[in-house]
Amino acid sequence: MRCFHRLGLIGILLLALWAAPLHAAGVDLRMERLADSLNLLRSEDRAVVEEAVELIRKGENTLALGRLTALNAANPQNSSLRILTAYALLQAGNFLGAFDEAAKAEKAPDGNSYKCWFLAKVALLAGDKTVCKREIKHVKSMGDMAADVKALEKELKGKN
């Protein structure tokens, strides 16, 4: 039952996000790619994540950042929290702050190829083509986001 309850909270969060995807500065937030790392959090922390996501959805990014900053302090190695923080910063128009958080997410030991793709996308938005190209190589080597990589490479080519 406890495992079902854990999955239920994340499932509800994912359903809410899939019903109305979040978009910031041309970046789609893919909660399904964040679920594994979010499931590592304590139930109290997952409840705060749900609250922060709802605040982002409402455009209350400063409040969301406050919640996420506290979670990052308690869970500094959780890549999904860093990506959510970067996303809220993008929503607020802070590309450099988003780049910093996305870089922290990429360095975290948990996560998947999405954290590299996310950093590549944010690096491109922040104007750092070198990091973008490096992260595209990382994602390509993992092989599970081929269409996303192709789209990002096309976008990168358009910025040259």
Domain architecture of the chain: domains with CATH: 2-159 (1.25.40.10)
pLDDT at site 24: 52
Give residue 98's pLDDT: 96
Residue 18's pLDDT is what? 39
Count CB neighbours of 132 within 10 A: 22
Task: Note the pTM of the prediction, 2 decimals.
Answer: 0.83
> How far does CA 150 lie from the centroid of its chain?
19
Residue 110, pLDDT score: 84
pLDDT at site 159: 77
**What is the Cα–Cα distance from 78 to 5, expressed in whole angstroms?**
21
Residue 150, phi then psi, degrees to nearest 5: -60, -45
The closest alpha carbon to 89, from 102, 79, 76, 103, belongs to 102
Under 8 Å between Cβ of 113 and 89: no
Contact in structure between 25 and 125 (CB atoms under 8 Å):
yes
pLDDT value, residue 128: 95
pLDDT averages per 10-residue partition of the chain, 160 residues:
45 43 65 93 96 94 96 96 96 93 95 93 94 96 93 90
